[in-house]
Chain A
Amino acid sequence: MAKIKLELVKLCKEFGELNAVDDVSIAIEESETMALLGPSGCGKTTILNMIVGLEKPTSGEILIDGKSVLNVPPGQRNVGLVFQDYAVFTHMTVRQNLAYGLKLRKMKQPEIDREIYKVSEFLSLGHQLDRKPSELGASELQRVAIGRTLVTNPEILLLDEPLSNLEASMRNQMRRELRRIQGETGQTIIYVTHDQIEALSLAHQIAVMNLGALQQYDTARNVYEYPANRFVGSFLGNPPMNFIRGKLAEDSGQRVVSSGESTMPLPAGIIGADMTIGSDVVVGVRPESLNLAAADNPGRFTSEVLAVEPQGPETVVTAAFGDSSFKVIVPAGTDAEAGGAITLAPQSDLVALFDAETGVRLMNSGGA
């Protein structure tokens, strides 16, 4: 197993009555790229601040390379932070911004110049070096902020909402830039974001958070395909995951979930020991994980079509289940119309069952 670079152990931060961060434990490997994903106010920025040292945790530990850094001041932890608003020093030129950290480390001028040259080439800032920040655009400012941090060679790089301040057209470009930086520097990188697309596209591992608590920490793929609870399922994916309430029942040897008149067969192997027939469950299945089924598919079920929305290469069909509805993505040109019926089957291991009350995923439902 690769070396653990950064470890958060039972990290807690309280602001008076408010539990901003509640017992979070994460171990991040060296050279890994991780995203802290969650809605506003879920505690992710607070964690970031604690890792870099701008805030002190109420309890818990932060270990870098196995050693606690709680008593190490922010500038000496070898952790770099790029702020959401970039926080470029507006009264200095780009060059002076980049040199700031190096000057603090008492580097000699020729060396500083060399490092600045390297970083400005790396980030295509070469011709901006003597400009003032007021003359630069958003993505250039971001590169200055990143450069300013990179030049000090931090072992861990933190970025707060790196793509959110950019226009859509800039975002793709920046995404590529960031992936390139990832590849070429080998640093351990942590992104903080509320945008699940950002997280999915930038990180190997994702830690999903809500209200201060860690919901799931796993590879991007696993978090997406096998959410640990209802929240994670709902947070990732666009269009969002369907949640269908029903009762667990048995029908000719098959486990099914039924609600009213509708029945959905559950793929084999999905049932675990902690499920009892007749209990309330919530089925989580993504619109793209329901496929059109042939008439002889044992796992099929039929629903009434409520609405059809063509969307270019795909069509989104809203169908009924019990007294609620769900969405499914089908190829364009599929024969479906409102009032008609559609026959679907869930993809085998991409269905999750959640406890109706706690939202926790029920054991053995789905792969990993």
Chain B
Amino acid sequence: MLIFPFILEFVISLTEWQPIYGDFWDAFASVFTHKINQGVGYNYLITDEPRYLQALGRTVIISVISLCLEFVIGLALATLFLKKFWGKRLWFTALLSPMMIMPVVVGYTWFMLFQYNGPVNQFIGWITFSETNLMWLNTGHLAFIAVITTEVWHWTPLFFLIMLSGLNSVPENPIRAATVLGASNFKIFWTIILPNMKAVIIIAFVIRGMEVIKLFDEIYILTRGGPGTATETISLYLYKLAFEDFRLAYAGSAAFIVLIITVVLINMMLKPIRYQLVEGR
């Protein structure tokens, strides 16, 4: 009776680990087979390297740009929310709504919006006083922008939420002390408020960073990774490898390498606040 739950739980976490071990063995095996020249995994890794690295690169660029945009916009909105105005509850719910939508729906919605005869082009036309018929999802760099826009729209509310909570937790008296010493609002923000939010900001970046690297649903729906490989991030690259080219083993080892990189990166990012986190947990 006592041990049963432990066993059950162990078995199920095993299922979780199976996939991870699966990749591990693949990568492991490929290292060996490389020498024997049956080269299932590693061999391909080398010949296909440019595409793999490019996918990594795109993933990094999209992630970094998206995160930064989400941070800036989220922070800006959060500071606005510190002031008094009518209907805060309503604005709050409205601003939070993009985050609540399923990724696939988000993908399809923006798919519609980015059509050549869709509202995005219409809007740009209004601003630039010209007819715009950009083929967003069919043009390399435009598709890139479209993907970033979609991701930023979807997840800025998260940053907004976290930043708001961070702003509210900055102690009030040091702010007043700085005011008395003659600091302007801007200076106070820069020298007192932001430094006090360092931990929260890092957490926000890490949390969303972990997810944005794996971004799949929206990109798949918007562009399938195209046109060509223009928006092929690591997730899409692996998907294509596994389910269109059917090079599963190779995909597994490639994925494993991504995991290592991610873990190392996240570790580095968490270093400054490791102490606080361990305390909290």
A positions within 8 Å CB-CB of B: 52-54, 74-76, 79-81, 83, 85, 87-92, 100-101, 104-105, 145, 148-149, 152
8 Å CB interface, B181-236 against A: 181-184, 187, 191-192, 195-196, 198
> What are 12 inter-chain pairs, A to B, with CB distance below 8 A?
A52-B180, A53-B180, A74-B179, A75-B184, A81-B180, A83-B177, A89-B177, A100-B178, A101-B181, A104-B181, A104-B187, A148-B177
B141 within 8 A of A: no
In the assembled complex, how far is the CB of residue B174 from the closest CB belonging to chain A, in whole angstroms? 5
Contact flag A100-B181 (CB < 8 Å), given A89-B192, A91-B196:
yes
Contact B182 A105 (CB under 8 A): yes
- In the bound complex, CA of A105 to CA of B181 (Å): 9
- In the bound complex, CA of A299 to CA of B191 (Å): 68
Contact B177 A75 (CB under 8 A): no
In the assembled complex, how far is the CB of residue A168 from the closest CB belonging to chain B, in whole angstroms? 24
Contact flag A87-B196 (CB < 8 Å), given A104-B182, A152-B181:
no
B176 within 8 A of A: yes
In the assembled complex, how far is the CB of residue B42 from the closest CB belonging to chain A, in whole angstroms? 48
Contact B182 A74 (CB under 8 A): yes
Q: In the complex, what residues of A have CB within 8 A of residue B93's CB?
A: none
Q: In the complex, what residues of A have CB within 8 A of residue B171's CB?
A: 87
Pick the contact of B195: A87, A88, A91, A152 (CB < 8 A).
Answer: A91
Contact A87 B174 (CB under 8 A): yes
B13 within 8 A of A: no
In the assembled complex, how far is the CB of residue B188 from the closest CB belonging to chain A, in whole angstroms? 10
Which size class do B's interface residues fall under?
10 to 19
Contact B183 A75 (CB under 8 A): yes
B47 within 8 A of A: no
- In the bound complex, CA of A105 to CA of B187 (Å): 12
Q: In the complex, what residues of B have CB within 8 A of residue A101's CB?
A: 181-182
Pick the contact of A83: B173, B192, B195 (CB < 8 A).
Answer: B173
Q: In the complex, what residues of A have CB within 8 A of residue B183's CB?
A: 75, 100, 104
Contact B173 A85 (CB under 8 A): yes
Q: In the complex, what residues of A have CB within 8 A of residue B184's CB?
A: 75
- In the bound complex, CA of A190 to CA of B131 (Å): 69
Q: In the complex, what residues of A have CB within 8 A of residue B180's CB?
A: 52-54, 74-75, 79-81, 149
Pick the contact of A81: B177, B187, B192, B195 (CB < 8 A).
Answer: B177
Instruction: Considering the complex, give the chain A residue whose CB is closest to the CB of B176.
Output: A54
- In the bound complex, CA of A75 to CA of B178 (Å): 8
In the assembled complex, how far is the CB of residue B173 from the closest CB belonging to chain A, in whole angstroms? 4
Contact B182 A87 (CB under 8 A): no
In the assembled complex, how far is the CB of residue B193 from the closest CB belonging to chain A, in whole angstroms? 10
Contact B181 A83 (CB under 8 A): no
- In the bound complex, CA of A145 to CA of B180 (Å): 12
In the assembled complex, how far is the CB of residue B248 from the closest CB belonging to chain A, in whole angstroms? 50
Q: In the complex, what residues of B have CB within 8 A of residue A54's CB?
A: 176, 179-180
- A-B contacts besides A54-B176, A148-B181, 9 pairs, CB < 8 Å: A54-B179, A75-B180, A75-B182, A76-B182, A87-B171, A89-B174, A89-B177, A91-B196, A148-B177
In the assembled complex, how far is the CB of residue A145 from the closest CB belonging to chain B, in whole angstroms? 8
Q: In the complex, what residues of B have CB within 8 A of residue A80's CB?
A: 180
In the assembled complex, how far is the CB of residue A99 from the closest CB belonging to chain B, in whole angstroms? 11
Contact B181 A87 (CB under 8 A): no
Contact B176 A87 (CB under 8 A): yes
- In the bound complex, CA of A74 to CA of B187 (Å): 14
Q: What are the 4 A-B residue pairs with the smallest beta carbon separation, nearest first?
A: A75-B182, A87-B173, A101-B181, A87-B177
Instruction: Considering the complex, give the chain B residue whose CB is closest to the CB of A152.
Output: B181
Q: In the complex, what residues of B have CB within 8 A of residue A90's CB?
A: 174, 196
Contact B174 A75 (CB under 8 A): no
In the assembled complex, how far is the CB of residue A79 from the closest CB belonging to chain B, in whole angstroms? 8
8 Å CB interface, B144-191 against A: 171, 173-174, 176-184, 187, 191
Contact A75 B179 (CB under 8 A): yes
In the assembled complex, how far is the CB of residue B194 from the closest CB belonging to chain A, in whole angstroms? 10
In the assembled complex, how far is the CB of residue B177 from the closest CB belonging to chain A, in whole angstroms? 4
Instruction: Considering the complex, give the chain A residue whose CB is closest to the CB of B196.
Output: A91
Contact A83 B182 (CB under 8 A): no
Instruction: Considering the complex, give the chain A residue whose CB is closest to the CB of B171.
Output: A87
- In the bound complex, CA of A101 to CA of B181 (Å): 5
In the assembled complex, how far is the CB of residue B69 from the closest CB belonging to chain A, in whole angstroms? 26
Instruction: Considering the complex, give the chain B residue whose CB is closest to the CB of A148.
Output: B181
- In the bound complex, CA of A61 to CA of B173 (Å): 26
Q: In the complex, what residues of B have CB within 8 A of residue A52's CB?
A: 180
- In the bound complex, CA of A152 to CA of B182 (Å): 10
Q: In the complex, what residues of A have CB within 8 A of residue B174's CB?
A: 87-90
The residue in B177, B183, B198 that gathers the most chain A C-beta atoms within 10 A of its C-beta is B177
- In the bound complex, CA of A83 to CA of B175 (Å): 11
- In the bound complex, CA of A152 to CA of B184 (Å): 16
Instruction: Considering the complex, give the chain A residue whose CB is closest to the CB of B180.
Output: A81
Contact flag A83-B176 (CB < 8 Å), given A75-B181, A76-B182, A104-B182:
yes
- In the bound complex, CA of A212 to CA of B84 (Å): 28
Instruction: Considering the complex, give the chain A residue whose CB is closest to the CB of B187.
Output: A104
The residue in B180, B183, B187 that gathers the most chain A C-beta atoms within 10 A of its C-beta is B180
